[in-house]
Amino acid sequence: MASIPNLNSLRQGRGRGRGLGFGNVSRPGKDQVVQGTDNDASVSRLSAVELGYLDDPYATALTPPGSATRRLPIINRGTYVRTTTIDQLVTRFLGPWSPNKQRKQIISLGAGSDTRVFRLLSSRQTPDFIYHELDFAVNTTAKIRAIRSAPELQRVLGIDSPVSGEGSPVTVSEAGDALQSPSYHVHPVDLRSLPTHSNPAAALPGVETGLPTLLISECCLVYLSPIEAQKVVSFFTEGLFGQIAPGSDGDALGHTGGAPLGLILYEPIRPNDAFGEVMVSNLAARGIQLQTLHKYASLEAQRTRFREQGFGDGQAAGDIEFIWKNWVTEEEKGRVAGLEMLDEMEEWELLARHYCIAWGWRDQAHISAFAGWKDLEAQKGG
Amino acid sequence: MSDLDRAIEQLRACRLIPESQVRELCYKARELLIEEGNVVSVDAPVTICGDIHGQFHDLMELFRVGGDVPDTNYLFMGDFVDRGFYSLESFLLLLCLKVRYPDRITLIRGNHESRQITTVYGFYDECIRKYGSANVWRYCCEVFDYLALGAIVLGASSELEPTSSTVNDTAQSNLAIADSELETEVLDSRGHVTMSTYRPRQRSSSDASTDSRNISPPRDISAAPGQVAAPSRSGAPGTGASSDGNGSAVTSRTGAVLCVHGGLSPLIDSVDKIRLIDRKQEVPHEGAMCDLLWSDPDEIEGWGLSPRGAGFLFGGDIVKQFNHLNGLSLVARAHQLVMEGYKEMFDGGIVTVWSAPNYCYRCGNVAAILELGEDASGGGTVARSNGEFGRSNGISGDNRVVSPGRRYRVFEAAAQDTRGMPAKKPVADYFL
């Protein structure tokens, strides 16, 4: 789930400065709507988990108590495809666990109440990655609070005593909005403030700029203006990870020499057909603007975006319908279809065609951190 | 004013009636429906409607576009409830109208008229929310069990009467087509003709052909009626009955229209087989009754597995054969969202009619209703009956089965401000 920026401060023409950050909350009601969408995604995830679409032992702990609701079958299926597709991209990036392998790094933008880090940590013998979550302080605070009250989450982080206790590997900031541990960091940060940092590394303590790194934006950058979204990505591609990694030079293929870097996007697309137009106006009625949607309206526009933003070694995309059809095995499709009677095939296809997963990467000549992505089936065309 | 009329008035204003009145209404409706056969016979003229799904304000728009009850005869092909915010208001209004004007409105069962489906797709929750208990849901489900499974429309005209509404330039230019029958006409919600197709008058047994003149963006109409070979017997369409030789000379050439929510079943090769089903039960997970409510036509040969997990997919060959064997000219069904409101397939042998515009307040589609006119020759009239209709009433004096003239009225969702939607919509509408 993405965190959604404070839309009051983002909206143009209201006489408010934009990009002022999260402190600019002037309408608590609006803010609650935004917060509600985060809860909403965790509720959707819990629904999919409880019905057997997903296996996620941490879904309950990271869903607000008492908010469990059964979602409609198409929503459950969409949650399933979105989650398993990103899982697969992440798993292929991390590769099989083995001791003494170079560690990798994942940075999740607008992570919200996402459970992925806990699922990864518990699925690998010892952590061979560093996982960073970036979100507004209000969201990171809620998440850290959830961790503090859920022993199963603490166990995954390797703590049996309360967080921040004596000798604990985990430290939490005084405000309760930041968390540091050997493999998991939670950063309270407004993404739009990142590009303004003169010293990129200081903006996100704990990020190792030499490691092959995967950025994940699950419905996050889409809420920024196109310029802001572009700057946030550039902050990583050029700022934080732009420096020449020790012992490597630029090569003939134009690799910059910065660490291998990949990006996964999950966002709506195709705003210009009947469904898309209704989507835009329905969300606008709720005060939600998908600001980059029209700029990156098609799969082709997404691929171009990756190319132009420095992910020169690969750019691929597929809508959720394509991925359901082509990535999910027949056996698994049968299992999922058997969970609930889905009486909405046309609606499912309509909905699923309006969300895409796009992924792109840059490697280094001698490190192929994204080799696992090369044989994935992507969708052609727009 | 009777209690029933008062209830209708109240429901038309989108206000619910008391639980005790719902119980009484459902009891009366059941008494009425129990007398109907599995396949109800309906005389043209009739307006055929597809899924409603609790979109009450759009149902009001449908009545505005199609004419009010009882002035217009309606046949609703199921899926009254679930998904929309006003399943109760929509279904109870339709039920009131059914009880008040039993011969003017026909309701057949959709796959959502089921206990199991309504607990997943919203109607059950709506009943709890609006009435505080599951009682009303239970009364409604008992009515669902008595709804007919299909309907046969008889006496439809093969030729469309000219639209009485606004004649625009296009319609005038149509007059230039001499010696041809208006076969299909599409009108927007203001009554403007947006598309017409014609076929030459069939004076001889020569093959019909279609002169299609698209005025609006092309639609999937390539209907070439009459290509379906004529059945060799002459019983009343849809009955499987053979001619009793009553010698009625002037009869309708138009084949009957079978209306069913989903589609055909591999277990059903004749309309008569539908009549043999014991329908008064919850929709089963499989079998003929399930298939009728769940199946979809598809561009395949023969039968295929349905991705819905119930019912089957069936191809054009199946439709052609079924229509031929049963003296049908058309199968009208609902069940599938169609962005353009209606979709004819297989040379016009089957049509999907979808009557929930901007489905789930999200899909951006338009809706349609299908009007079948009355055969002006008067030969095809069969008294409407709620049970088995007179089988000796052979009405086909000609071996040719001609498809009926079809007038589609396409309409959009009721205006936002009149729809009265809750300001805060369920947030899971989209993935955020």
Q: For residue B254, what pLDDT is reported?
A: 79
Cis peptide before A169 (omega within 30 of 0): no
Token code pair at residue B399:
């071996």
- From the list A40, A78, A82, which residue is nearest B427 (CB)? A40
Q: For residue B225, what pLDDT is reported?
A: 40
The catalytic residues of B are: 112
**CA–CA distances in Å: residue B350 to residues A244, B186, B249, B263, B332:** 66, 17, 29, 9, 6
* Residues of chain B with C-beta less than 8 angstroms from the C-beta of A324: none
A283 near B CB under 8 A:
yes
How many alpha carbons fall within 13 Å on the CB side of residue A107?
27
Complex ipTM = 0.79
Q: How many CB pairs under 8 A join A and B?
A: 92
- From the list A2, A70, A283, which residue is nearest B430 (CB)? A283
**Residue given tokens 């992507």 in the structure block:** A378
Q: Would the annotation count A40 as a binding residue?
A: no
pLDDT at B388 over 60: no
* Average pLDDT of the residues in B316-338: 97
Token code pair at residue A316:
């691929």
pLDDT at B126 over 90: yes
* Average pLDDT of the residues in B367-384: 71
Q: How far is B362 from chain A (nearest CA, A)?
A: 6
Q: How far is A72 from chain B (nearest CA, A)?
A: 7
List strand residue ranges (DSSP E) for chain A, in order.
Answer: 104-109, 129-135, 171-172, 179-180, 184-188, 213-218, 261-268, 314-319, 355-362
Q: Which of A51, A81, A42 is nearest to A341 (CA)?
A: A51
Interface test with B, best of A46, A69, A346 (most B CBs within 10 A): A346
Q: Would the annotation count A208 as a binding residue?
A: no
Query: Do the Cβ atoms of A359 and A89 come closer than 8 Å?
Result: yes
Q: Which of B220, B306, B235 is nearest to B264 (CA)?
A: B306
Query: CA A135, CA A141: separation in Å to the nearest integer?
Result: 9
Q: For residue A260, what pLDDT is reported?
A: 94
Q: What is the per-residue DSSP string for A251-306?
A: -TT---SSPPEEEEEEEE--TTSHHHHHHHHHHHHTT---TTTTTT-SHHHHHHHH
**CA–CA distances in Å: residue A270 to residues A222, A298, A352, A353, A355:** 13, 6, 11, 8, 8
Residue ranges in chain A whose pLDDT is less than 50 = 1-31, 245-254
pLDDT at B263 over 50: yes
- From the list A277, A337, A346, which residue is nearest B336 (CB)? A346
Q: Which residue has the higher pLDDT, B200 or A295?
A: A295
A199-213, B90-104, B235-249, B326-340: least confident range:
B235-249
pLDDT at B347 over 70: yes
Give me the sheet containing B303-305, strands edge to edge: B296-297, B312-314, B303-305
List strand residue ranges (DSSP E) for B159-316, in order.
Answer: 180-187, 193-200, 211-214, 256-260, 296-297, 303-305, 312-314
Query: CA A267, CA B4: separation in Å to the nearest integer?
Result: 51
Contact yes or no for A43 and B428 at CB 8 A: yes
- From the list B296, B365, B428, which residue is nearest A274 (CB)? B365
Nearest residue of B to residue A268, measured between CA atoms? B431
Interface test with B, best of A45, A72, A84 (most B CBs within 10 A): A72
* Average pLDDT of the residues in B247-258: 63
pLDDT at B167 over 60: no
Contact yes or no for A268 and B425 at CB 8 A: no
Residue type, A10: L
- From the list B121, B309, B432, which residue is nearest A41 (CB)? B432
Interface test with B, best of A341, A342, A353, A354 (most B CBs within 10 A): A341
**Residue given tokens 């059941």 in the structure block:** B30
Rg for chain B (alpha carbons), in Å?
21
The percent of residues above 70 in pLDDT, for chain B, comes to 75
* Residues of chain A with C-beta less than 8 angstroms from the C-beta of B310: 341
Query: Do the Cβ atoms of B348 and B366 come closer than 8 Å?
Result: no
Nearest residue of A to residue B429, measured between CA atoms? A75
Q: Would the annotation count A331 as a binding residue?
A: no
Query: CA A73, CA B97: separation in Å to the nearest integer?
Result: 32
Contact yes or no for B428 and A268 at CB 8 A: no
* Average pLDDT of the residues in B92-105: 98
Query: CA B373, CA B408: separation in Å to the nearest integer?
Result: 11
A271 near B CB under 8 A:
no
Contact yes or no for B432 and A274 at CB 8 A: no
Contact yes or no for B120 and A72 at CB 8 A: yes
Token code pair at residue B238:
């849809």
The total of other beta-carbon atoms located within 10 Å of residue B247's CB is 8
Report residue B41 CA to chain centroid gap: 13
* Residues of chain A with C-beta less than 8 angstroms from the C-beta of B117: 341, 343
Strand partners, B43: B154
Token code pair at residue B168:
């625009």
The percent of residues above 90 in pLDDT, for chain B, comes to 65
Contact yes or no for A72 and B431 at CB 8 A: no
Query: CA B355, CA B336: separation in Å to the nearest integer?
Result: 10
Query: CA A262, CA A314: separation in Å to the nearest integer?
Result: 9
B349-358, B371-380, B420-429: least confident range:
B420-429
Q: Would the annotation count A82 as a binding residue?
A: yes
Query: CA A296, CA A302: separation in Å to the nearest integer?
Result: 6
Contact yes or no for A340 and B120 at CB 8 A: yes
Q: For residue B202, what pLDDT is reported?
A: 53
Contact yes or no for B337 and A282 at CB 8 A: no
Q: For residue A331, what pLDDT is reported?
A: 96
Strand partners, A130: A105
* Residues of chain A with C-beta less than 8 angstroms from the C-beta of B428: 40, 43-44, 71-72, 75
Q: For residue A160, what pLDDT is reported?
A: 67
List all residues 6 or more positions away from A371 whose beta carbon is below 8 Å from its beta carbon: A363
Q: What pairing do the DSSP bridges indicate for beta strands B303-305 and B312-314?
A: antiparallel
Q: Which of B122, B3, B13 is nearest to B60 (CA)?
A: B13
Query: Do the Cβ atoms of A119 and A58 come closer than 8 Å?
Result: yes
Token code pair at residue B282:
């919850």
Q: Would the annotation count A277 as a binding residue?
A: no
